[in-house]
Amino acid sequence: MKQKYQKGIFFGRPPLGYNLIIANGQKSIIINEHGRLLAKAFKWKAQKQLPTFIIGEKLRGLGVDVSDKHLSRVFRNVFYCGLLSNKMLGQEIMEGQNWEPLVSKEIFLKANEVLENAHVKYESRAEDQNLPLKQVVKCDKCKNPMTGYVARKKGIYYYKCNTVGCKSNKNAMHMNSKFFDFLDQYKIEPTLHPLIKQQLIANVKNCILDKVSDKDDFQSR
C-alpha cells in the first residue's frame, strides 16, 4: 500500500465528485457531474470569495448533497488538485497518477487562502479573579446582569448594575463570600468521586465515538 502511495497511485473509494469505474478488469477514477459542480465551487471560493455556507446553498440547489462542514473539508483536500496525501506518507505529498485533477493547484491554493483569511481572530482576555460573578450575578432590584469595577484609590472591587435609574452597587468581596457559602451546599462526597470519574470517562468515550462516526459518514459520501 505504501509503495503504491509513493508512486502517486490512489486506491479505494474516491472522494465526492469522482466515480470508480471498473471495465475489462481495469480501474479508473473519473470526474462525475457532482465533480464538475465542485470545480465551480472552488472557483466561487477562489475568485468570488463567497462564504462557504453560500456556496453550500448553491450546490444543494443544484442537487449536490453536501453539508457546509463537508464542503470545508472538500476545499482542503489536496486530492482535488491532483495530489496524494496519506498518513502512510507522513508529511510527504505525491503527484497523483491515476485520476484527473478537479482544479488547478493555483485555484486550490487561492481557495484555501480565502478560507484562512475568513477565520475570525479572537482576542483572549484573562478574567479578573476579583470579579468572578461579573455578568453572572443579577441585580436584586431590576434583575439585569451586573458588571464590575475597582475603586482604584481604595483598591476595593464592586459589582455594579448599569441599568438607568438603578445603579445598585455591591461590595465584591462580600458578594463572593456569600456565593462560596452557597456553593458549599453542593459539595460531592469523596466516596462518590470514583463513580463520577467513571461516568465522565464514559461520556468522553461516547463523544469520541460520535465524532468517528461523523467522520466515517463524511468519507463514505
For 167-215, the pLDDT digits (tens) are 788 899 998 998 888 888 888 888 988 888 888 888 887 777 666 545 4
Q: In angstroms, rounded to a whole number, what is the distance separating the alpha carbons of residues 3 and 108?
A: 26
Q: What is the pTM of this model?
A: 0.53
Nearest residue to 114 via CA among 68, 60, 72, 57 = 72
- Please, which residues have CB within 8 angstroms of residue 201's CB and are 6 or more apart in sequence? none
Neighbours of 219 (CB within 10 A): 13
Average of pLDDT values for 47-76?
93
State pLDDT tens for residues 198-207: 888 888 877 7
- Strand extents, DSSP E, 65-134: 83-84, 94-95
| C-alpha of 148 from chain center | 32
The burial class, CB within 10 Å (0-12 / 13-18 / 19+), for 59 is: buried
pLDDT (0 to 100) of residue 203 = 85
Of 58, 65, 159, 50, the C-alpha closest to 111 is 50
CB 68 within 8 A of CB 54: no
